[in-house]
Amino acid sequence: MQRIVVIGAGQAGASLVAKLRNMGHDGPITLIGEEPQPPYQRPPLSKGYLLGDMVLERLFLRPEEFYAENNISLKTGTPVTAIDRANKTVTAGDELLNYDHLVLTTGSAPRTLPAAIGGDLPGVFTVRTLADVDAMAPEFTQGRNALIIGGGYIGLEAAAVASKLGMNVTLIEMADRILQRVAAPETSDYFRELHRAHGVDTRENIGLERLTGGDHVTGAILSDGSELPVDVAIVGIGITPSTALAESAGLDIENGIKTDAFGRTSDASIWAAGDCASFPHKGGRIRLESVGNAIDQAECVAENILGANKEYQAKPWFWSDQYDTKLQIAGLNTGYDRIVTRGSGSDASFWYYQGDKLLAVDAMNDPRAYMVGKRLIEAGKSPDPTVIADVTADLKPLLRA
C-alpha cells in the first residue's frame, strides 16, 4: 500500500501511473499536473491541432474517465511548490501530500527571447503547451507574415504549418545550417530544399537583432541589417529541462535531474523520468527529449519502484512530420564520421557510421529503412555500407546476418 506521487502530467507521468496499475500496484497513486487538462500528446499541437485537423479530445493520451476507473487521483491545474524530503511530503496547491515514492516527470520548458529584444511583445510565441497553441491559432491566417526563429525541428514544423495555411514564412537560423546541432549536412540539405519548394524563405547564418512593435509585434531587424514585416513570430530555439523543483529540494542536477541507471535520484525515495532526467548511457550521461524515451524510461521506473531492479537501456527513436514528409530517426549520431546515402528525391535515408559501426539512421518517407536500421542498431549490427547504398539491395536479410 505504498503511496506513490508523480509530479508532471505529461507523457512520462501518464505512462508511469498506467504502468503501475497494469503491474498490479494497488496502493494510492496521485498524478499532479500544472495545466488544467488531463495528460495529452504534445507533438500534434503544432501540426494537426494547429491546422484544425485534430479536435481537443483526440489529443488526450487516455479518456478522462481512465484515471477515476483505475483509482488514480489526477490533480490538474495544481502547481507543486515544495518537496519536503525529510517528512516525505509535497505541497500541491493548498494540499500537503504524503509519499513513500515520489517521481519527477516535470518535462522541459522552451527557451524564450529576452524582453530587451522584443521577446515579450504580443504576437511572439513558443510552442510547448495547449495554451500556447490556442493563443497563437487566431494569428495563423492566410497572407500574414510569419517569422520562425530557429531552424531545429520545432521551428521547421512550425514553418511547415504556417506555409500550409498560406502565410508568408521566413525562417532564420543563427548557425551555418538548419538542424546543425542534430543532423548531418545531408539531412539539412533535404529539409532546406523541402521548405524552399513550399515557399519558405530560409536564411541561415542569420540571427535576430530585435523584434519591433508596440501593442503587437510588427517587424524584425536581423543581424545582417535587413528588416522584415512580422505579424506573428514563433520562437523555436530549444528547450531546457524543468529542474527548479528538484534543485530547491537539494537533488543532484547534471544536465537535468541526475539519476542512476534505475531512475533513482540522489534521494533513494525520489525518481525521475522523461525530458527532465539525465541518466547513464554507454559510459557517459545523456538526456533524451522524445516521446519514445518518456514512455520507455517512465515504464522502467514504474517497474523499479515495484522491485524489478532493472537498468534502463535507451533505444532512441524520434520523428518529425513536415508537409507530406515523415522523418523517422533511429539511434544517436554522436561521433559519426561518415554518411551513407540510400535513395534520392523525396524518399531517401542517411546512415551514420563511425568507422565501420552503424550509429543512426535518418529516413525520409522510407519506413522500411527506418525499421531495418532501428533493429540493426538495437542488435548491435553494422551492415556493409556498400549494401546500404545499393537501392536495389533488399535490406531485410541484413537482420538475419
Determine the pLDDT at residue 46.
85
Question: Is 143 a residue whose pLDDT tops 80?
Answer: yes
Determine the pLDDT at residue 3.
98
User: Cα–Cα distance between 81 and 90 in angstroms, integer?
Assistant: 8
Query: Per this entry, what is the length of the chain?
Result: 401
Q: How far is CA 81 from CA 13, 146, 317, in A?
A: 18, 37, 33
User: Cα–Cα distance between 69 and 92 in angstroms, integer?
Assistant: 23
CB 375 within 8 A of CB 399: yes
> pLDDT tier at 297 (50, 70, 90 boundaries)?
very high
Instruction: Give the mean pLDDT of 161-181.
Output: 97
> pLDDT tier at 117 (50, 70, 90 boundaries)?
very high
- Cα dihedral sign, 326-332-334-337: negative
CB 338 within 8 A of CB 350: no
CB 316 within 8 A of CB 161: no
Cell of 280: 547513464
The string of pLDDT tens digits covering residues 238-277 is 999 999 999 999 999 999 999 999 999 999 999 999 999 9
Model confidence, pTM: 0.95
Question: Is 401 a residue whose pLDDT tops 80?
Answer: no
- The alpha carbon of residue 288 and the mean position of all alpha carbons in its chain are separated, in whole angstroms, by 8
Q: Are strands 317-322 and 325-331 parallel, antiparallel or unpaired?
A: antiparallel
Instruction: Give the mean pLDDT of 202-209.
Output: 98
Report the mean per-residue pLDDT for the chain.
Answer: 96
Of 4-18, 44-58, 92-106, minimum mean pLDDT range: 44-58
Instruction: Give the mean pLDDT of 109-126.
Output: 97
User: Cα–Cα distance between 72 and 372 in angstroms, integer?
Assistant: 38
**Which domains, from first to last, does the chain contain?**
4-109+239-305 (3.50.50.60), 112-235 (3.50.50.60), 324-400 (3.30.390.30)
> pLDDT tier at 279 (50, 70, 90 boundaries)?
very high
How crowded is residue 106: how many other Cβ atoms within 10 Å of its Cβ?
29
Question: Is 303 a residue whose pLDDT tops 90?
Answer: yes
Question: Is 290 a residue whose pLDDT tops 80?
Answer: yes
CB 211 within 8 A of CB 220: yes
Burial label for 317, CB within 10 Å (0-12, 13-18, 19+), is buried
CB 5 within 8 A of CB 104: no
User: Cα–Cα distance between 277 and 300 in angstroms, integer?
Assistant: 13
Instruction: Give the mean pLDDT of 118-138.
Output: 96
Determine the pLDDT at residue 400.
87
Instruction: Give the mean pLDDT of 50-56.
Output: 91
Determine the pLDDT at residue 1.
81
Residues contacting 121, CB < 8 A, separation 6+: 211, 213, 216, 217, 233
Determine the pLDDT at residue 186.
97
Determine the pLDDT at residue 170.
98
Over the chain, what HEC string results? CCCEEEECCCHHHHHHHHHHHHCCCCCCEEEECCCCCCCECCHHHHCHHHHCCCCHHHHECCCCHHHHHCCEEEECCCCEEEEECCCCEEEECCEEEECCEEEECCCEEECCCCHHHCCCCCCEEECCCHHHHHHHHHHCCCCCEEEEECCCHHHHHHHHHHHHCCCEEEEEECCCCCCCCCCCHHHHHHHHHHHHHCCCEEEECCCEEEEEECCCEEEEEECCCCEEECCEEEECCCEEECCHHHHHCCCCECCCEECCCCCECCCCCEEECCCCEEEEECCEEECCCCHHHHHHHHHHHHHHHCCCCCCCCCCCEEEEEECCEEEEEEECCCCCCEEEEEEECCEEEEEEEECCEEEEEEEECCHHHHHHHHHHHHHCCCCCHHHHHCCCCCCHHHHHC
Comparing 47 with 254, the larger pLDDT belongs to 254
Dihedral class, residue 116 (left if φ above 0, else alpha if ψ from -120 to 50, else beta): alpha
Determine the pLDDT at residue 47.
87
Burial label for 176, CB within 10 Å (0-12, 13-18, 19+), is exposed
CB 148 within 8 A of CB 158: yes
